[in-house]
Protein backbone atom coordinates (compact mmCIF):
# COMPACT_ATOMS: atom_id res chain seq x y z
CA UNK A 1 0.00 0.00 0.00
CA UNK A 2 1.37 3.42 -0.94
CA UNK A 3 0.04 6.69 0.46
CA UNK A 4 1.17 9.84 -1.34
CA UNK A 5 0.38 13.47 -0.49
CA UNK A 6 2.35 16.02 -2.53
CA UNK A 7 5.86 15.81 -1.04
CA UNK A 8 5.04 12.94 1.33
CA UNK A 9 5.39 9.34 0.25
CA UNK A 10 4.78 6.60 2.77
CA UNK A 11 5.48 2.97 1.97
CA UNK A 12 3.85 0.34 4.13
CA UNK A 13 4.40 -3.38 4.26
CA UNK A 14 1.49 -5.43 2.87
CA UNK A 15 0.64 -6.88 6.28
CA UNK A 16 0.30 -3.47 7.94
CA UNK A 17 -3.41 -3.10 7.16
CA UNK A 18 -5.58 -2.47 10.21
CA UNK A 19 -6.05 -5.72 12.09
CA UNK A 20 -7.19 -7.08 15.43
CA UNK A 21 -4.33 -8.04 17.72
CA UNK A 22 -4.18 -9.80 21.07
CA UNK A 23 -1.64 -7.49 22.75
CA UNK A 24 0.63 -4.50 22.19
CA UNK A 25 3.46 -6.92 21.41
CA UNK A 26 1.71 -7.93 18.19
CA UNK A 27 2.14 -4.35 16.95
CA UNK A 28 5.94 -4.53 16.97
CA UNK A 29 7.46 -4.30 13.48
CA UNK A 30 6.05 -3.62 10.00
CA UNK A 31 6.94 0.07 10.33
CA UNK A 32 6.56 2.30 7.25
CA UNK A 33 9.12 4.02 5.05
CA UNK A 34 8.87 7.76 4.53
CA UNK A 35 10.46 9.19 1.39
CA UNK A 36 12.55 12.24 2.26
CA UNK A 37 12.00 14.88 -0.41
CA UNK A 38 12.33 18.50 0.68
CA UNK A 39 15.69 18.35 2.42
CA UNK A 40 16.93 16.00 -0.29
CA UNK A 41 16.82 18.76 -2.89
CA UNK A 42 20.12 19.15 -4.68
CA UNK A 43 21.01 15.47 -4.83
CA UNK A 44 21.02 13.58 -8.12
CA UNK A 45 17.55 12.88 -9.53
CA UNK A 46 18.18 9.14 -9.54
CA UNK A 47 19.00 9.05 -5.81
CA UNK A 48 16.15 8.38 -3.40
CA UNK A 49 16.21 8.48 0.40
CA UNK A 50 13.70 6.62 2.56
CA UNK A 51 13.49 6.76 6.35
CA UNK A 52 12.35 3.69 8.29
CA UNK A 53 10.04 5.12 10.96
CA UNK A 54 10.79 2.93 13.97
CA UNK A 55 8.95 5.29 16.31
CA UNK A 56 5.79 3.61 15.02
CA UNK A 57 6.53 0.61 17.23
CA UNK A 58 4.25 0.53 20.31
CA UNK A 59 7.11 1.30 22.70
CA UNK A 60 8.15 4.19 20.46
CA UNK A 61 11.49 2.93 19.16
CA UNK A 62 13.49 0.41 17.17
CA UNK A 63 14.42 -1.24 20.49
CA UNK A 64 11.03 -2.96 20.71
CA UNK A 65 12.26 -5.52 18.18
CA UNK A 66 15.37 -6.83 20.00
CA UNK A 67 13.77 -6.47 23.43
CA UNK A 68 10.93 -8.77 22.42
CA UNK A 69 13.26 -11.26 20.73
CA UNK A 70 15.56 -11.44 23.76
CA UNK A 71 12.65 -11.96 26.15
CA UNK A 72 11.12 -14.62 23.90
CA UNK A 73 14.47 -16.41 23.80
CA UNK A 74 14.70 -16.23 27.59
CA UNK A 75 11.26 -17.78 27.95
CA UNK A 76 12.04 -20.51 25.42
CA UNK A 77 15.32 -21.41 27.13
CA UNK A 78 13.85 -21.33 30.65
CA UNK A 79 16.26 -18.62 31.76
CA UNK A 80 13.26 -16.34 32.23
CA UNK A 81 10.57 -17.96 34.35
CA UNK A 82 8.11 -16.97 37.09
CA UNK A 83 9.93 -15.44 40.05
CA UNK A 84 12.66 -13.86 37.92
CA UNK A 85 13.12 -10.13 37.36
CA UNK A 86 14.15 -8.75 33.97
CA UNK A 87 17.14 -6.41 34.28
CA UNK A 88 19.31 -4.52 31.80
CA UNK A 89 21.41 -1.39 31.34
CA UNK A 90 20.10 1.07 28.79
CA UNK A 91 20.22 4.65 27.59
CA UNK A 92 16.43 4.64 27.73
CA UNK A 93 14.71 3.11 24.73
CA UNK A 94 15.52 -0.55 25.39
CA UNK A 95 14.41 0.12 28.96
CA UNK A 96 11.07 1.45 27.74
CA UNK A 97 10.66 -1.61 25.51
CA UNK A 98 11.51 -4.03 28.32
CA UNK A 99 9.23 -2.20 30.75
CA UNK A 100 6.35 -2.42 28.26
CA UNK A 101 6.99 -6.11 27.59
CA UNK A 102 7.26 -6.80 31.31
CA UNK A 103 3.84 -5.25 31.90
CA UNK A 104 2.26 -7.34 29.13
CA UNK A 105 3.87 -10.60 30.30
CA UNK A 106 3.57 -9.80 34.03
CA UNK A 107 7.31 -9.83 34.85
CA UNK A 108 8.94 -7.17 37.06
CA UNK A 109 11.61 -5.05 35.36
CA UNK A 110 14.65 -3.26 36.80
CA UNK A 111 16.74 -0.89 34.72
CA UNK A 112 20.07 0.91 35.11
CA UNK A 113 20.01 4.20 33.23
CA UNK A 114 22.37 7.21 33.05
CA UNK A 115 20.90 9.96 35.22
CA UNK A 116 20.98 12.48 32.37
CA UNK A 117 18.57 10.67 30.02
CA UNK A 118 15.62 12.77 28.94
CA UNK A 119 12.80 13.55 31.35
CA UNK A 120 10.40 12.09 28.81
CA UNK A 121 12.12 8.69 28.88
CA UNK A 122 12.16 8.69 32.68
CA UNK A 123 8.43 9.43 32.80
CA UNK A 124 7.56 6.72 30.28
CA UNK A 125 9.54 4.10 32.21
CA UNK A 126 7.88 5.27 35.42
CA UNK A 127 4.47 4.92 33.77
CA UNK A 128 5.28 1.25 33.07
CA UNK A 129 6.17 0.83 36.78
CA UNK A 130 9.73 -0.40 36.21
CA UNK A 131 12.26 0.04 39.02
CA UNK A 132 15.13 2.32 38.01
CA UNK A 133 18.69 2.81 39.25
CA UNK A 134 20.38 5.92 37.88
CA UNK A 135 24.07 5.68 37.03
CA UNK A 136 26.66 8.47 36.79
CA UNK A 137 25.55 10.84 34.04
CA UNK A 138 29.15 11.57 33.07
CA UNK A 139 29.90 7.90 32.36
CA UNK A 140 27.09 7.44 29.83
CA UNK A 141 26.00 3.98 28.75
CA UNK A 142 29.34 2.48 29.84
CA UNK A 143 28.70 3.58 33.41
CA UNK A 144 25.26 2.01 33.28
CA UNK A 145 26.80 -1.27 32.06
CA UNK A 146 29.26 -1.33 34.95
CA UNK A 147 26.61 -0.60 37.59
CA UNK A 148 24.26 -3.16 36.03
CA UNK A 149 26.95 -5.83 36.41
CA UNK A 150 27.47 -4.90 40.07
CA UNK A 151 23.75 -5.26 40.83
CA UNK A 152 23.55 -8.71 39.23
CA UNK A 153 26.68 -9.88 41.05
CA UNK A 154 24.99 -9.18 44.40
CA UNK A 155 22.01 -11.50 43.65
CA UNK A 156 22.53 -13.41 40.37
CA UNK A 157 19.68 -15.89 40.93
CA UNK A 158 17.11 -13.11 41.10
CA UNK A 159 17.57 -11.82 37.57
CA UNK A 160 17.14 -12.59 33.92
CA UNK A 161 19.48 -10.33 31.95
CA UNK A 162 18.80 -9.79 28.26
CA UNK A 163 22.23 -8.07 28.20
CA UNK A 164 21.52 -6.27 24.94
CA UNK A 165 25.16 -5.43 24.21
CA UNK A 166 26.23 -9.08 24.17
CA UNK A 167 23.06 -11.02 23.27
CA UNK A 168 23.03 -12.35 19.69
CA UNK A 169 19.23 -12.26 19.75
CA UNK A 170 19.57 -8.47 19.45
CA UNK A 171 20.92 -8.49 15.86
CA UNK A 172 18.91 -11.64 15.10
CA UNK A 173 15.69 -9.68 15.66
CA UNK A 174 16.71 -7.28 12.91
CA UNK A 175 17.89 -10.10 10.63
CA UNK A 176 14.44 -11.67 10.92
CA UNK A 177 12.28 -8.52 10.76
CA UNK A 178 13.86 -5.15 9.91
CA UNK A 179 15.98 -6.40 7.01
CA UNK A 180 13.21 -8.34 5.25
CA UNK A 181 10.76 -5.44 5.71
CA UNK A 182 13.15 -2.94 4.12
CA UNK A 183 13.98 -5.23 1.22
CA UNK A 184 10.30 -5.92 0.56
CA UNK A 185 9.20 -2.29 0.94
CA UNK A 186 11.81 -1.08 -1.57
CA UNK A 187 11.01 -4.00 -3.92
CA UNK A 188 14.63 -5.05 -3.63
CA UNK A 189 15.90 -1.71 -4.95
CA UNK A 190 17.80 -0.66 -1.81
CA UNK A 191 21.48 0.05 -2.54
CA UNK A 192 22.63 1.61 0.75
CA UNK A 193 21.58 1.06 4.36
CA UNK A 194 22.40 3.71 7.01
CA UNK A 195 21.97 3.37 10.79
CA UNK A 196 23.50 4.72 13.98
CA UNK A 197 25.58 2.60 16.34
CA UNK A 198 24.29 2.07 19.87
CA UNK A 199 24.43 -1.59 20.82
CA UNK A 200 25.19 -2.38 17.17
CA UNK A 201 22.17 -4.67 16.88
CA UNK A 202 20.31 -2.72 14.19
CA UNK A 203 23.26 -2.18 11.87
CA UNK A 204 24.60 -5.73 12.31
CA UNK A 205 21.37 -7.68 11.96
CA UNK A 206 19.77 -5.62 9.23
CA UNK A 207 23.04 -5.35 7.33
CA UNK A 208 23.58 -9.11 7.43
CA UNK A 209 20.15 -9.80 6.04
CA UNK A 210 20.48 -7.25 3.24
CA UNK A 211 23.88 -8.60 2.23
CA UNK A 212 22.51 -12.16 2.33
CA UNK A 213 20.06 -11.26 -0.45
CA UNK A 214 22.36 -8.86 -2.34
CA UNK A 215 26.07 -8.58 -1.56
CA UNK A 216 26.24 -5.29 -3.46
CA UNK A 217 24.16 -3.44 -0.84
CA UNK A 218 26.38 -1.11 1.18
CA UNK A 219 26.04 -0.98 4.98
CA UNK A 220 27.04 2.36 6.52
CA UNK A 221 27.20 3.03 10.25
CA UNK A 222 26.83 6.44 11.89
CA UNK A 223 28.67 7.42 15.08
CA UNK A 224 29.49 10.61 17.01
CA UNK A 225 32.62 12.34 15.75
CA UNK A 226 34.11 12.68 19.24
CA UNK A 227 34.23 10.84 22.55
CA UNK A 228 32.70 13.88 24.29
CA UNK A 229 29.43 14.14 22.41
CA UNK A 230 25.77 14.91 23.09
CA UNK A 231 24.15 12.23 20.94
CA UNK A 232 22.19 10.18 23.45
CA UNK A 233 21.97 6.51 22.51
CA UNK A 234 24.92 6.53 20.09
CA UNK A 235 28.41 5.18 20.82
CA UNK A 236 31.77 6.56 19.80
CA UNK A 237 33.35 3.13 19.44
CA UNK A 238 37.02 4.10 19.78
CA UNK A 239 36.39 5.42 23.30
CA UNK A 240 33.65 3.02 24.48
CA UNK A 241 33.13 -0.49 25.78
CA UNK A 242 32.64 -2.24 22.44
CA UNK A 243 29.48 -4.41 22.44
CA UNK A 244 30.12 -8.10 21.87
CA UNK A 245 27.54 -8.15 19.07
CA UNK A 246 29.30 -5.39 17.10
CA UNK A 247 31.69 -6.45 14.35
CA UNK A 248 33.13 -3.49 12.49
CA UNK A 249 34.64 -5.63 9.75
CA UNK A 250 31.10 -6.27 8.46
CA UNK A 251 30.59 -2.59 7.66
CA UNK A 252 31.36 -0.93 4.36
CA UNK A 253 31.84 2.50 5.91
CA UNK A 254 31.41 4.63 9.04
CA UNK A 255 30.35 8.28 8.86
CA UNK A 256 31.12 10.48 11.90
CA UNK A 257 28.62 13.24 12.75
CA UNK A 258 29.00 16.14 15.16
CA UNK A 259 26.47 16.89 17.88
CA UNK A 260 25.83 20.30 16.34
CA UNK A 261 25.10 18.89 12.87
CA UNK A 262 22.77 16.25 14.32
CA UNK A 263 20.76 18.80 16.31
CA UNK A 264 20.54 21.13 13.31
CA UNK A 265 19.18 18.26 11.24
CA UNK A 266 16.53 17.50 13.89
CA UNK A 267 15.26 21.07 13.48
CA UNK A 268 15.40 20.89 9.69
CA UNK A 269 13.44 17.63 9.61
CA UNK A 270 10.72 19.09 11.81
CA UNK A 271 10.42 22.26 9.75
CA UNK A 272 10.71 20.83 6.24
CA UNK A 273 9.56 17.21 6.48
CA UNK A 274 7.17 17.52 9.43
CA UNK A 275 8.66 14.73 11.53
CA UNK A 276 9.67 15.19 15.18
CA UNK A 277 12.74 13.14 16.01
CA UNK A 278 15.58 12.63 18.45
CA UNK A 279 19.20 13.58 17.86
CA UNK A 280 20.18 10.02 16.87
CA UNK A 281 17.76 10.29 13.94
CA UNK A 282 19.22 13.70 13.10
CA UNK A 283 22.71 12.20 13.01
CA UNK A 284 21.56 9.33 10.77
CA UNK A 285 19.82 11.73 8.39
CA UNK A 286 22.85 14.01 8.20
CA UNK A 287 25.00 11.01 7.28
CA UNK A 288 22.46 9.78 4.71
CA UNK A 289 22.46 13.17 2.99
CA UNK A 290 26.25 13.28 3.01
CA UNK A 291 26.26 9.86 1.36
CA UNK A 292 23.54 10.82 -1.13
CA UNK A 293 25.52 13.79 -2.41
CA UNK A 294 28.29 11.40 -3.49
CA UNK A 295 25.98 9.18 -5.54
CA UNK A 296 24.68 9.42 -9.10
CA UNK A 297 21.94 6.85 -8.48
CA UNK A 298 20.74 4.64 -5.67
CA UNK A 299 18.10 3.96 -3.03
CA UNK A 300 19.17 4.80 0.52
CA UNK A 301 17.24 3.58 3.55
CA UNK A 302 18.07 5.26 6.84
CA UNK A 303 16.82 4.21 10.27
CA UNK A 304 14.95 6.82 12.31
CA UNK A 305 15.09 4.90 15.61
CA UNK A 306 12.64 6.87 17.74
CA UNK A 307 9.76 9.33 17.83
CA UNK A 308 8.23 10.25 14.55
CA UNK A 309 4.83 11.17 13.20
CA UNK A 310 3.11 8.01 12.05
CA UNK A 311 0.02 5.88 12.21
CA UNK A 312 -0.24 2.12 12.02
pLDDT 10s digits, 8-21:
455 655 554 567 88
Spatial distance between the Cα atoms of 186 and 83, rounded to a whole number of angstroms = 44
pLDDT of residue 145: 87
pLDDT of residue 5: 37
pLDDT: which is higher, 141 or 25: 25
Grouping H, G, I as helix, E, B as strand and the rest as coil, residue 254 is strand
Mean predicted confidence (pLDDT) in 290-305: 97
In sequence order, the β-bridge partners of residue 250 are: none
Which DSSP state fits 243? Answer: P
The domain 2-61+173-304 is classified under which CATH number: 3.40.50.620, 1.10.1040.10, 3.40.50.1100, 1.10.3720.10?
A: 3.40.50.1100
Q: Where are the domains of the chain?
A: 2-61+173-304, 64-160
pLDDT 10s digits, 118-176:
888 889 999 999 999 999 988 887 898 899 999 999 999 999 999 888 999 999 999 99
Spatial distance between the Cα atoms of 307 and 275, rounded to a whole number of angstroms = 8
Spatial distance between the Cα atoms of 297 and 189, rounded to a whole number of angstroms = 11
The pTM of this model reads 0.89
Mean predicted confidence (pLDDT) in 207-235: 90
pLDDT 10s digits, 53-82:
999 999 999 999 999 999 999 999 999 999
pLDDT of residue 12: 59
Asked whether the beta carbons of 193 and 217 are under 8 A apart, the reply is yes
- Band the pLDDT of 26: cuts 50, 70, 90: very high
162: how many CB neighbours lie within 10 A of its CB? 27
pLDDT of residue 18: 62
pLDDT 10s digits, 84-129:
999 998 878 899 999 999 999 999 999 999 898 888 888 999 999 9
Grouping H, G, I as helix, E, B as strand and the rest as coil, residue 261 is helix
pLDDT of residue 187: 98
Total H helices, total E strands in the chain: 9, 12
- Band the pLDDT of 4: cuts 50, 70, 90: very low
2-61+173-304 and 64-160: identical CATH topology: yes
Strand order across the 253-257 sheet = 2-5, 8-11, 33-36, 46-53, 297-304, 192-196, 218-224, 253-257
- Band the pLDDT of 2: cuts 50, 70, 90: very low
User: Which residue numbers are catalytic?
Assistant: 63, 280
Fold of 64-160: Rossmann fold (3.40.50)
Mean predicted confidence (pLDDT) in 215-234: 88
Q: How far is CA 247 from the centre of its chain?
A: 17
pLDDT of residue 241: 81
What percent of the chain is modeled with pLDDT above 70? 92
Least confident of 35-44, 96-105, 302-311: 302-311
Mean predicted confidence (pLDDT) in 194-221: 97
Amino acid sequence: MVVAHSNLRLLRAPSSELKKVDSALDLIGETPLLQITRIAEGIASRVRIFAKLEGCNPGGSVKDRPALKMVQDGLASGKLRPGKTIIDSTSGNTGIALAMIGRVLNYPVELVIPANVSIERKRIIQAYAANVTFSDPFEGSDGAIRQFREIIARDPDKYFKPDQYFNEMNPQAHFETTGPEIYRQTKGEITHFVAGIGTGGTIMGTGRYLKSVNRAIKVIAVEPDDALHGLEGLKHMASSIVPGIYHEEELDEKIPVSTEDAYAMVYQLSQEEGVLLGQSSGAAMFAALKLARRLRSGTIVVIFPIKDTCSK
